[in-house]
Chain A
Amino acid sequence: EVQLVESGGGLVKPGGSLRLSCAASGFTFSSYSMTWVRQAPGKGLEWLSSITSRNSDSSYADSIRGRFTISRDNIQSSLSLQMNSLRAEDTAIYYCARENDAGNYYFDYWGRGILVSVSS
């Protein structure tokens, strides 16, 4: 059974940093690209960042580029998101998701999400 479990969320002050992790199991982690998506309170889904399986190439949404960094550890089957210079508008539930990018592009498994609150 595919499982994705996020951790590392919490309350942080504006300008602070936080590192999210996503522990993956039930599939060959090294064979899949992975993604972070967030959802601000009462808002829609926002794609944030993806990292490929093959060479760990990464891509970022404009809203987080230069502040957030995605990474992966194929040995530990884990995905991370280092979040720096956090702003109030970064408050959201953060989801990790498994990505399929071989022709069709979609996210077939999602974690339950982790809450990040940015407030003074």
Chain B
Amino acid sequence: SSELTQDPAVSVALGQTVRISCQGDRLRMYYASWYQQKPGQAPLLVIYGQNRRPSGIPDRFSGSDSGNTASLTITGAQAEDEADYYCSSRDSSGDLYVFGPGTKVTVL
């Protein structure tokens, strides 16, 4: 089956901006969704659709899409944003889902 790829890890200085990317052919057909996961916790949806944030998600989180790449941007990263971030999308068949391998974000 096809895959989504993500950078394994990125770091960002406190208050600065970081962009996390997710690549895959299926992203030409479907929007990615993005999940934040902190140690010992369940994943939390932070971005879905065309740059939509669930209620309660700070507006420093935003999403964008270009071709086969989806991106999650944290503008003004806070210490509490340190977490693993996963992208997800439908499979090319349209019936299944796939997650990217995750990006560990460290806030310095």
Query: Cα distance A109–B50 when bound, in Å?
Result: 19
The contact size tier of chain A is 20 to 34
Q: Is the CB of B96 within 8 A of A47?
A: yes
What are the interface flags for B16-54 relative to A under an 8 Å C-beta threshold, 1 for contact and 0 otherwise?
000000000000001101010100001111001110101
Q: Is the CB of B30 within 8 A of A105?
A: yes
A112 contacts which chain B residues (CB < 8 A)? Answer: 42
Q: Is the CB of A44 within 8 A of B102?
A: yes
Q: Does A35 contact B (CB under 8 A)?
A: yes
What are the interface flags for A45-57 relative to B under an 8 Å C-beta threshold, 1 for contact and 0 otherwise?
1110010000000
Query: Cα distance A109–B54 when bound, in Å?
Result: 10
Cβ-neighbour of B48 out of A44, A59, A97, A106 (below 8 A)? A106
CB pairs A–B below 8 angstroms (22 shown): A35-B97, A44-B86, A44-B99, A45-B35, A45-B86, A45-B88, A46-B99, A59-B96, A62-B1, A97-B43, A104-B33, A104-B48, A105-B31, A105-B97, A106-B88, A107-B35, A107-B45, A107-B88, A108-B48, A109-B45, A110-B43, A110-B44
Hey, which bits of chain B sit against chain A, CB under 8 A?
Answer: 1, 30-31, 33, 35, 37, 42-45, 48-50, 52, 54, 84, 86, 88-90, 95-102
Hey, which bits of chain A sit against chain B, CB under 8 A?
Answer: 35, 37, 44-47, 50, 59-62, 95, 97, 100, 103-113
Given A45-B102, A47-B98, A107-B35, 8 more contacts at CB 8 Å?
A: A44-B101, A45-B37, A45-B43, A46-B99, A47-B99, A95-B43, A104-B31, A110-B43
